[in-house]
Amino acid sequence: MKPVPEVQSAGSCDAVTLIPAASARECNTLRKVTSVQHSPLFANVSPADCREIVSAARESEFPRRDTIFLEGDPIRQVVLLTSGSVKVMLLGQKGAEVILRLAGPGDVVEITGLPAQCRHCSTAQALSASTALIWESSAFHALAERFPALQSNIIKVAAQRLEELEERYREISTEKVATRLSHQLLRLFNQLGRRVNGSGTLEINLSREELAQMTGTTLFTVSRLLSGWKERGVLTARRECVYVHNIQALREFADNE
């Protein structure tokens, strides 16, 4: 039997074509590289090194509210989001959540330079339907040892997260709730906010309860403050979403409240 002739389009790898398995793998790797090119984890990593690093990862999907890992679980994987959002949290004895941070596209859900026998110190849950690249922990640590830029970026990201936690602790200890909430909203919009239909309105998918958990206050207090800012035309709060119409006014609240 004669071999089936190769049929391949001159277009992109996303075109519907019949291509050899090797070419399909190459397209898949290129797609992975594109998904992480703006990630802090890959800053100053050469394209060739980036290709090798991402080729060791597999792709995975997490439905909304899916648990990615639990506090106390053994650390077996490194998860880098390529779409969606994830909350990283601690749980109190009565089940109350304290949100440490949110992760968005390009973020590693939990930075770890720890040996595989260590355990997660927090719980991660998908806030929205999300996709990710996942490395086995041992494979990722081996890659970090081979590529100094990757190792350096891990340290930088961990330091930035520690700095943010320290800043939030300072805010909780010294600032009024209104100031803390406005600061937290500004951080979230810088990290995860997106413009609505090209307008000046910014959107973040987060409930009032989750804002309270991130700010160290009550749902009642957050609802009262958001309602007051709505009356001033600064923002609109829905059940699980906040729209900011006047980001400059929110900055002024952060500076002057």
**Per-residue pLDDT tens over the stretch 203-246:** 888 899 999 999 989 999 999 999 999 999 989 998 888 999 88
Any idea what the Cα angle at residue 170 is, between residues 166 and 175, rounded to 5°? Answer: 150
Per-residue pLDDT reduced to its tens digit, 51-106: 999 999 999 999 999 999 999 999 899 999 999 999 999 988 777 888 999 999 99
Pick the range with the lowest mean pLDDT from 29-38, 42-51, 108-117, 218-227: 108-117
Confidence of residue 117 (pLDDT cuts 50, 70, 90): low
Q: Is the pLDDT of residue 7 over 50?
A: no
| CA pseudo-torsion sign 185, 188, 192, 198 | positive
Q: 21-169: CATH homologous superfamily?
A: Jelly Rolls (2.60.120.10)
* pLDDT in the model for residue 91: 84
Short-list 190, 187, 146, 186, CA closest to 165? 187
For the structural domain made of 175-256, what CATH number should be given? 2.60.120.10
Domain ranges of the chain: 21-169, 175-256
At position 252, the amino acid (one-letter code) is: E
Judge if 21-169 and 175-256 fold alike in CATH terms: yes
Residue 187 · residue 164 · CB < 8 Å: yes
At position 152, the amino acid (one-letter code) is: S
- Identify the three-state secondary structure at position 165: helix
Per-residue pLDDT reduced to its tens digit, 147-167: 999 999 999 999 999 999 999
